[in-house]
Amino acid sequence: MSAPKNKFLQKIKELETAYGIWNDLTDPDVGEILAGAGYDWIVIDAEHAPFDLQLIIGQLRAMAPYDVAPMVRPPGDDPVFIKQLLDAGVQTLLVPMVDTPEQAAELVQLVRYPPAGKRGHGAGLGRAARWGHTTDYVATADQQMCLIIQVETRIAYENLSALLEVDGVNGVFLGPADLSASMGYNGRMDEPTIIEMVKKAMIQVRKAGKIAGTVSFSPSGVQAYQMAGANMIGIGADALLLSRAVKDLIRTFREMR
């Protein structure tokens, strides 16, 4: 049995723009509903949602039968948790708050086996290698790994050129909410200054030959980022969509009383 291919890398090659959604509700039924909805990728968000390792694995299993690419956003750059995620079968990481090229280079080391990195051997005993049923996991793991770093502070934005020079970083994801807070706009991700900053970064990232990602919940914002070259855009979040839907539903029927 061959090792699994990275669905996200395949979709990025095939699609002009890959649309994704945030998974913050931890129940695997929610993960399966999202997986069957037609999105190209799903972020299992362990930074802002209460996901532990077992809950993440539950979501990966729920999403596996569907034509969607799961990825995980860990709480940070903790090497132990990242190692556990990789051994659990995660092939795409979206790492938040990466400010310096040194931090990015260390992440590359964590996700690659020696001699290219320092990832510990042990995945052959776990889910990543299908519990030992694959014969080529270690030989192919580095090729199937996708590391996307998040630029979401003033410091990171100023370091963008240096971050793009780090070999082994597959993509850069601009976080407009945190970036806006860092720039003094208190989380207003649709502030015109922030939109222009993100667009400028998208152009630079694509010129460097890397995946350019960001998030926008408005059609006009998505269109603006697409025109700037973004080929990975988050367009929604499960908790927000549920909250909005239940409020809209009861509002509609209250107006009928």
CB of 35 within 8 A of CB of 63?
yes
The 10 Å Cβ neighbour count of residue 229 is: 16
Q: How big is the chain, counted in residues?
A: 257
Give the active site residue among 5, 48, 133, 207. Answer: 48
The reply to whether 48 belongs to the active site is yes
Please state, in angstroms and as integers, the Cα–Cα distance from residue 54 to each residue in 22, 107, 129, following that order.
Answer: 18, 22, 17
Closest by CA position to 44, among listed 147, 174, 55 = 55
CB of 24 within 8 A of CB of 56?
no
Burial class (CB in 10 A: 0-12, 13-18, 19+), 39: buried
Query: Which positions are annotated as active-site residues?
Result: 48
